[in-house]
Amino acid sequence: MSNTESLRGVEPLPGARPWAGHPPSHARSADADTDTRQVLRRATAAGFIGTFIEWFDYAAYGFLATVIAVVFFPKTDPTTSLMATYAVFALSFVVRPIGGVIWGHFGDKFGRRNTLSLSIMIMSASTFVIAFLPTYGQVGLWAPVLLLVIRLVQGFSASGEYAGASAFLAEYAPNRKRGLYTSVIPAAEAAGLLFASLFVAGLHMVLTSTQLHEWGWRVPFLLAAPFGLVGRYIRLQLEDTPKFMAMAQASHAPQAPLRELFTSHRRTMLVGFGVTCLNAVGFYLLLSYMPVYLSKELGMSDSVSFLVSTVSLASYVVMIFVMGLLSDRFGRKTMLISACILFALFTVPLFHSLSSAGIVGILLIQVALGAFLTINDGTLPCFLSESFPTRVRYSGFALCFNSANALFGGTAPLVATWLISATGNKLAPAWYLVGAAVVSLIAIVASRTPSGGALPD
């Protein structure tokens, strides 16, 4: 009688593991599923934390715009100084398309993980340096020049984050939940903004105006160094995505992703650029510029305007996961078209109501506008990831996204401030947002990207 036959019908001892040497197929499958879930959780955590850190670093500048206008620029009228501050903010976006090309090239050729780990270190180091920059009172015009140089480095780093982290999670996520998982990236982006908003609001509440202008503005930038080290460590604990490793093992990594994009994917890039316009204008107007709009144009105190924006940001973070989940159910195009229509119809009336609403009313209006934006932002990273094949996914996503943000996102606060100054109409930013919604709607209608299913190879 064989050993196998002798074991038939024998009950295992309590706590024993039968077939320990050769577990049955269902046990191996269960172990594999557990490993897959653990890897997916780690990938999600790495994507969230890395993006959170980068955007806390980047957002601190925007929330401290009114202070930076005084510290780094000559004393002129408040509008001119604020526009100079936003001009530096906008110029940091000039390098975004260039950075998108470079980060995309390395991400598609050498891997997502290493590229993202490098980008977070550059962002953290450059942000940390801002904390030690001399002021205008100390070195004159060298102060804004040095600030601009550092912001250009930040813009270069940020150009690799959103696209790379979104592609990273899209390639890890299961097909039927890709919208939900990729919504983690804009949620992390908003969470970074939220933490920056809370931090700056706390500075306004705890410090006097003199303390804030003398040294308090430096504090958020000092946090960049420890945050960056944590983010890099977490990212380096993961392997690269299965999609990229399969492509690399088959020796199919592109030698020139940019050339391949312009040769084979021109229409897709044009559509991606157009679709991103609403995200670019909406994100920076509603989540970054709005505290300044409420305080400068509507006369609210800095602490109250930051508090209102903080609550609306918190609701944004929660809602964006819901929108990612809904995009898995109803499709990317349906969600994106819905966002465009809502912005086109209701932006101007809601902005008009801000001037007569109390604090609760302003909060509800901002939450409503934030909800419209989450419909777009919770869907966009998955839509762009599904638009390009693995060979050029990072490059295509990064170039579309960063080009639109360079032209319309980084300039949004500057354009909004200028439009109000030039027209005397406080509703000018709302009309600008409506225009972006119309452009995005046209692009979405022209898109041929299918929703859901397997990522294109």
Pair 235, 117: CB distance under 8 Å: yes
pLDDT of residue 28: 45
Give domain status of residue 15, yes or no: no
DSSP result, 180-191: HHHTHHHHHHHH
What tokens appear for 82 in the block?
């604020």
Pick from 271-285, 325-339, 375-389, 407-421: least confident: 407-421
Express as a percent the part of the chain with pLDDT over 70: 89
* Averaged confidence pLDDT in the chain: 83
- Residue 396, domain member (yes or no): yes
Lowest mean pLDDT among 29-38, 90-99, 106-115: 29-38
pLDDT digits (tens, 9 = 90+) for 175-188: 889 999 999 999 99
Report the interhelical angle of 25-63 vs 224-236 (nearest 10°).
160
Asked if residue 88 lies in contact with residue 148, where contact means CB atoms within 8 angstroms, the answer is yes
| CA-atom Rg of the chain in angstroms | 24
Mean pLDDT for the stretch of residues 282-309: 79
What is the total count of domains within the chain?
A: 1
Backbone angles phi, psi at 258, to 5 degrees: -65, -45
The answer to whether the CB of 374 falls within 8 A of the CB of 239 is: no
Kindly state whether residue 454 falls inside one of the protein's structural domains. no
Closest CA to 177 of 455, 457, 456: 455
Helix (H) or strand (E) holding 181: helix 178-182
Note whether residue 349 is domain-resident: yes
Range ranked top by mean pLDDT from 122-126, 143-147, 434-438: 434-438
Quote the CA–CA distance of 228 and 305 in Å, as a whole number. 29
Q: Is the pTM of this model over 0.75?
A: yes
Q: Domain range spanning residue 50?
A: 38-446
Q: 3-state DSSP call for residue 448? A: coil
What is the token pair recorded at 308? 């209102």
Residue 140 domain flag: yes
User: Band of the pLDDT at 229, cuts 50, 70, 90?
Assistant: confident
Say if 8 falls within a structural domain.
no
Distance in angstroms (rounded) separating the CA atoms of residues 26 and 46: 30
| Total H helices, total E strands in the chain | 25, 0
- Higher-confidence residue of 344 and 286: namely 344
Four-CA torsion 406, 348, 446, 383, nearest 10 degrees: 60
Q: For the residues 154-159, what does the mean pLDDT come to?
A: 84
In a domain, 25, yes or no: no
Domain-embedded: residue 433: yes
Q: Sign of the CA dihedral 164, 166, 169, 174?
A: negative
Highest mean pLDDT among 161-165, 249-253, 396-400: 396-400
pLDDT of residue 35: 57
Which CATH number do you get for residue 120?
1.20.1250.20
What residue type is assigned to position 409 of the chain?
Answer: G
Q: For residue 405, give the DSSP letter.
A: I
Residue 374 has which token pair? Answer: 């989450």
pLDDT tens for each residue of 36-88: 677 788 888 878 887 887 778 777 777 787 788 888 888 776 777 777 777 77
pLDDT at 252: 66
The shares of helix, strand and coil residues in the chain, as percent rounded to the nearest 5, are 80, 0, 20
**Selected residue with higher pLDDT from 191 and 30:** 191
Residue with tokens 């003398």: 214
Predicted confidence band of residue 30 (pLDDT cuts 50, 70, 90) = very low
